[in-house]
Amino acid sequence: MEFFKYKQPIDFMGKSKIAMAVSIILILASYAILATKGLNYGIDFAGGTIVQVKYDTKAPIKAMREKLQADKLFDGASISEFGSPDEVVIRMKTSSASVAKDIGDVARAALQGTGNFTIRRVDIVGPKVGSELKEKGLMALFLSIAAILVYVAFRFEWRFAVASIAALVHDVSIAMGAVALFQIDVNLDVLAAILTLLGYSLNDTIIVFDRIREGITKSKKANLTEIINESITRTLARTTLTSLTTFFVVFTLFMFGGEIIHAFAFTLLVGIIVGTYSSIFVASPLLILFGFDVKNYHAKLAEKAKREAEKNRMREQFESGVM
Amino acid sequence: MKLNYRIVIFALAIVFGIVFSLPSLLQTQSGKKITLGLDLQGGLHMLLGVKTEEATKSRIKSIAASIKHFAERNDILIDGLSFDSKSVTFEVLDSDEIKNFDDFLSKLEGVKVTHKGSVITLSLTPKEIEKTKQQAVSQAIETIRNRLDQFGLSEPVVARQGKDKILVELAGIKTPQEEQRARELISRAAKLEMMAVDEARNARVYNMSDADAAAYGDVILEDVKNPKIKYLVHEIPILDGGMLTGANVGFDQNNRPVINFKLNAEGADIFGDFTGKNVGKRLAVVLDGKVYSAPNINERIGGGSGQISGNYTVLEAKDLAIALRSGALLAPIYMMEKRSVGPSLGADSIKASMIALIGGFILVIVFMMVYYRMAGVIANIALIANLLILLAVMSLFGATLTLPGMAGIVLTVGMAVDANVIITERIRELIYEGKSMHKAIEEGYANAMTAILDANITTLIASVVLYVYGTGAIKGFAITMSIGILASMLTAILGTHGIYQMLEPKMGKSKNYRFWFGIKG
């Protein structure tokens, strides 16, 4: 089977203006959502308590509310369905520091008489832990970006590094925007998804860049736009196939992975779509924008080859005892 | 068919994968296995904080008590004895006595003494404060571990996290009631007692029932190391851990490790009186109802400090010192983070992620076979090998599989075909250009190499950072991702290339591009 037999380059860069406009609109929209709605920090980062309760039958949410309202401790507690009608989650902003008797025990006692239930999960995160996790998470994000920047600059060229990081920022911004739009609880798993997206999106960009680098080195043409179009067209089969398999695998995780893995899978799903798009329509046009000069690069390569040859000649002379 | 070094390495890797992943897959009794994380098997994870300032406070308090005791005993009038969280202040009314007091104060360890006329201020040195705080944490850990060992759970984890946090992980907690019991146990102060061995009747201890012992006002206690060894001790302890202000490892003249302990003023009096009257008898050091040691009393021990010598190694002495210090929790603990998962939820999570994993796996395998034909089959062999190696490495490390880790494995399946797709697409391109099968394969691998390496190394960088900065579950995710990336490079670059080289004699003659690569030649 073959969907992508290479015939002639597709003019991707010709569409890059429209794509750039779309990207900028998406990013601005994401920041607008982040600024207005804001991220809905879950207990991992904000601190608080989650109690997950499973009933034999449909959960009596109304009766539960009445029971909990009797105790001041549960002021501002929200009760919502979790994956199925017989399962609910109670979310609270408060946490308790006592080891012997915690807020989960109190909730268990308070819910007596609402039916047959089991408490399946109690997570309590104190405020101190939450802020520590936030710090560490941001640190991880910036460190990975910095480390990747250094590596790509070392392997390619600084313009490639900056372009790939710009694509990363684009992907992360839009993924975060989607998370804010759907008011998904931002917990450690969402952070993990964002960091995975970093790796994935970059992986995609590097494959395209590698091909562009190859095109620049091998081709006699000096027109960067043409080279980029040809390179992207040649990697199109791989880009599409890998993105599709990964997308479908994450999609099965999203559909069948259960409620707990939902936020993780959602963030990744958005990330895979955006990450694939950005390799072609964000990272590559930026190379042209940054004024990458093929002639210069060719001259540099020639210079390098000449130096290498010179070295070899010297070495040969030295070894044959002429020096 | 011909053998080459690539196929040999690949075959070895597959054997390694099968051998070491079998214990985990079949859940055999022996062998190194992947353990399920608490989020998958159910259990309790807690991060406890220790209120270390309380430890320094109680240290200050006992110094104040001993000053008071000294003054009363020597009829020295002092005034305004007060203490706060950092220091003790008092005034010596008779200035001739200041020197006496100084002699006494110079014996106190880790204390800075400052004079302001007749007003004396004692404060703990920063080093001493740090030491006290650190001791409070180790002591809390020791106490909690002790308690949990008695709770009868399999392998409770109690470990220090960071400088002053305690990580407690309990697998196999089944009900919220059971969990609450465990938490109450952890947060209760442990009990240390010094008890007198009933030397007159101790010889008969092995033929006595508890009721017999009770009739004499005694109790039968077991040795901590060897439950077969029993002691008969007086039920009313001489003193308890509440009177202990410290215990450290020291060395005697012969350079053997001993325990130096300190008692507060009240304890010192009691202890001095008791040891003076009972030279030659044994003193049982009891923690949580178990006898840690029962040394002979060699002489009267006054001054509230003494030595317990015995045949211990330095490590044993250290442990005993820690145990002694953990009489009453010097510093209370508090909950910083708790995650408890019921066993049924864990089972649900396993089921859901298994469905996703198997579903994704079948999807990828079928797709590769349909799209690439034989090349797809070879890629699938690499994918299966990749999974086996991933499981084997995790088993060898005794890694914990968490729910995010499961997600990492699912993702690995999706991304592992990437290298194969890149390579096969490259080979197809070269065949389109009219190259022979042999040339297309060799050049295809060479061309794909830089892209695969660069792409995977950058992803690896992200995973490593995630591992270093992640906590618990996230770490598990980062580990599976990293191993998955490395395994996919090995299987795709070496493994599939080796298979092609082995099949080459067959392929070279064949012109059936459709069968081998799913394309019309």
Put simply, the answer to whether A99 touches B46 (Cβ < 8 Å) is yes
Q: Is the pLDDT of residue B150 over 60?
A: no
Q: What percent of chain B has pLDDT over 70?
A: 90
Q: Is the pLDDT of residue B248 over 90?
A: no
Half-sphere exposure of A196 (CA within 13 A, CB side): 36
Q: Is the pLDDT of residue A100 over 70?
A: no
The token pair at A257 is 């992975």
Q: Which of A60-64, A314-318, B372-376 has the highest mean pLDDT?
A: B372-376
Report pLDDT digits (tens) over B468-508: 877 666 777 788 888 988 998 889 889 999 999 898 888 87
Q: What is the pLDDT of residue A273?
A: 93
Put simply, the answer to whether A126 touches B336 (Cβ < 8 Å) is yes
Which residues of chain A does B482 touch, with a Cβ-Cβ cutoff of 8 Å? Answer: none
Report pLDDT digits (tens) over A266-295: 999 999 999 999 999 999 999 888 877 788
Substitution target in A96, A132, A157, A241 with the highest count of B β-carbons within 10 Å is A241
Q: What is the pLDDT of residue B151?
A: 63
Task: List the single residue in B337, B341, B351 with the smallest CB-CB distance to A129.
Answer: B337
Main-chain dihedrals φ then ψ at residue A293, nearest 5 degrees: -105, 115
Which residues of chain B does A208 touch, with a Cβ-Cβ cutoff of 8 Å? Answer: none
Q: Which residues of A142-172 are buried (b: 16+ CB within 10 A; e: fewer)?
A: ebbbeebbebbbebbbebbbbbbbbbbebbb
Put simply, the answer to whether A203 touches B364 (Cβ < 8 Å) is no
Task: Indicate the average pLDDT of chain A.
Answer: 87
Which three-class secondary structure state does DSSP give residue B83? strand
pLDDT band at B377 (very low <50, low <70, confident <90, very high): very high
The token pair at A207 is 């494959």
CA distance B388 to B380: 12
Q: What is the pLDDT of residue A193?
A: 86
Q: What is the pLDDT of residue B1?
A: 60
Put simply, the answer to whether B418 touches A256 (Cβ < 8 Å) is no
The amino acid present at B208, given as its one-letter code, is M
B173 touches chain A (CB under 8 A): no
CA distance B406 to B346: 12
Q: Mean of the pLDDT values across residues A176-203?
A: 87
Q: Is the pLDDT of residue A310 over 50?
A: yes
C-alpha separations of A249 from A243, B117, B132, B385 in Å: 10, 79, 53, 18
Substitution target in B425, B432, B464, B519 with the highest count of A β-carbons within 10 Å is B425
Q: Is the pLDDT of residue B190 over 50?
A: no
Q: Which sign, positive or negative, has the C-alpha torsion B415, B420, B424, B426?
A: positive
Q: Is the pLDDT of residue B5 over 80?
A: yes
Task: Indicate the average pLDDT of chain B.
Answer: 82
CA proximity to B343, closest of B8, B39, B19, B27: B39
- Which residue in chain B has the smallest CA separation from A205? B455
The token pair at A290 is 């940054």
Q: What is the pLDDT of residue A108?
A: 83
DSSP letter assigned to residue B96: G
Q: What is the pLDDT of residue B287?
A: 67
Substitution target in A99, A121, A234, A266 with the highest count of B β-carbons within 10 Å is A99
The amino acid present at B255, given as its one-letter code, is N
CA distance A89 to A52: 4
Q: What is the pLDDT of residue A147?
A: 87
**Residue pointed to by tokens 């990975």:** A144
8 Å CB contact between A119 and A52: yes
Q: How many CB atoms lie within 10 A of CB A78?
A: 11
Interface of B with A in 51-90 (CB under 8 A): none
Q: Mean of the pLDDT values across residues B82-93?
A: 82
8 Å CB contact between A127 and A47: yes
pLDDT band at B204 (very low <50, low <70, confident <90, very high): confident
Put simply, the answer to whether B338 touches A123 (Cβ < 8 Å) is yes
pLDDT band at B152 (very low <50, low <70, confident <90, very high): low
Main-chain dihedrals φ then ψ at residue A47, nearest 5 degrees: 80, 155
Who wins on pLDDT, B246 or B358?
A: B358
Q: Mean of the pLDDT values across residues B306-334?
A: 66
CA distance B26 to B33: 10
CA distance B185 to B206: 31
Which residues of chain B does A99 touch, with a Cβ-Cβ cutoff of 8 Å? Answer: 46, 48, 183, 186-187, 333-335
Helix (H) or strand (E) holding B306: strand B305-309
DSSP B352-368: HHHHHHHHHHHHHHHHH
Q: Mean of the pLDDT values across residues B208-223?
A: 84
Q: Is the pLDDT of residue B411 over 80?
A: no
CA proximity to A21, closest of A31, A11, A29, A33: A29
Substitution target in B180, B181, B345 with the highest count of A β-carbons within 10 Å is B345
Q: What is the pLDDT of residue A181?
A: 94
Put simply, the answer to whether B340 touches A104 (Cβ < 8 Å) is yes
The token pair at A226 is 């043409």
Helix (H) or strand (E) holding B416: helix B403-432
Q: What is the pLDDT of residue B499?
A: 92
Interface of B with A in 315-334 (CB under 8 A): 333-334
CA distance B490 to B492: 6
Put simply, the answer to whether A196 touches B462 (Cβ < 8 Å) is yes
Q: What is the dihedral of CA A29, A35, A40, A42, to 10 degrees?
A: 120
Who wins on pLDDT, A274 or B185?
A: A274
The token pair at A280 is 């072609």
| Pairing relationship of beta strands B290-293 and B218-223 according to DSSP bridges | parallel
Which residues of chain B does A149 touch, with a Cβ-Cβ cutoff of 8 Å? Answer: none
**Radius of gyration, alpha carbons of chain B:** 34
**Residue pointed to by tokens 């759970």:** B153
Q: Mean of the pLDDT values across residues A202-208?
A: 88
Which residues of chain A does B186 touch, with a Cβ-Cβ cutoff of 8 Å? Answer: 99
Q: How many CB atoms lie within 10 A of CB B221?
A: 22
Task: List the single residue in A133, A192, A242 with the smallest CB-CB distance to B404.
Answer: A192
Q: Mean of the pLDDT values across residues B66-82?
A: 76
Put simply, the answer to whether B411 touches A136 (Cβ < 8 Å) is no
pLDDT band at B308 (very low <50, low <70, confident <90, very high): low
Put simply, the answer to whether B469 touches A6 (Cβ < 8 Å) is no
Q: Mean of the pLDDT values across residues A105-125?
A: 85
The amino acid present at B372, given as its one-letter code, is Y
Put simply, the answer to whether A148 touches B461 (Cβ < 8 Å) is yes
> Distance, in angstroms, between A20 CA and closest chain B CA?
24
Q: Mean of the pLDDT values across residues B383-390?
A: 93
A276 touches chain B (CB under 8 A): no
The token pair at B381 is 């062999």
CA proximity to B392, closest of B27, B13, B38, B40: B13
CB-based contacts of B101-104 (< 8 A; 24+ apart in sequence): B101/B70, B101/B71, B101/B76, B104/B70
8 Å CB contact between B194 and B286: yes
Which residues of chain B does A231 touch, with a Cβ-Cβ cutoff of 8 Å? Answer: none
Q: What is the pLDDT of residue B421?
A: 92
Q: What is the pLDDT of residue B227?
A: 84
The amino acid present at B170, given as its one-letter code, is L
Q: Is the pLDDT of residue B13 over 60?
A: yes
The amino acid present at B352, given as its one-letter code, is A
Which residues of chain A does B470 touch, with a Cβ-Cβ cutoff of 8 Å? Answer: 136, 140, 188, 192
CA distance B176 to B77: 57
The token pair at A319 is 């070894």
8 Å CB contact between A86 and A59: yes
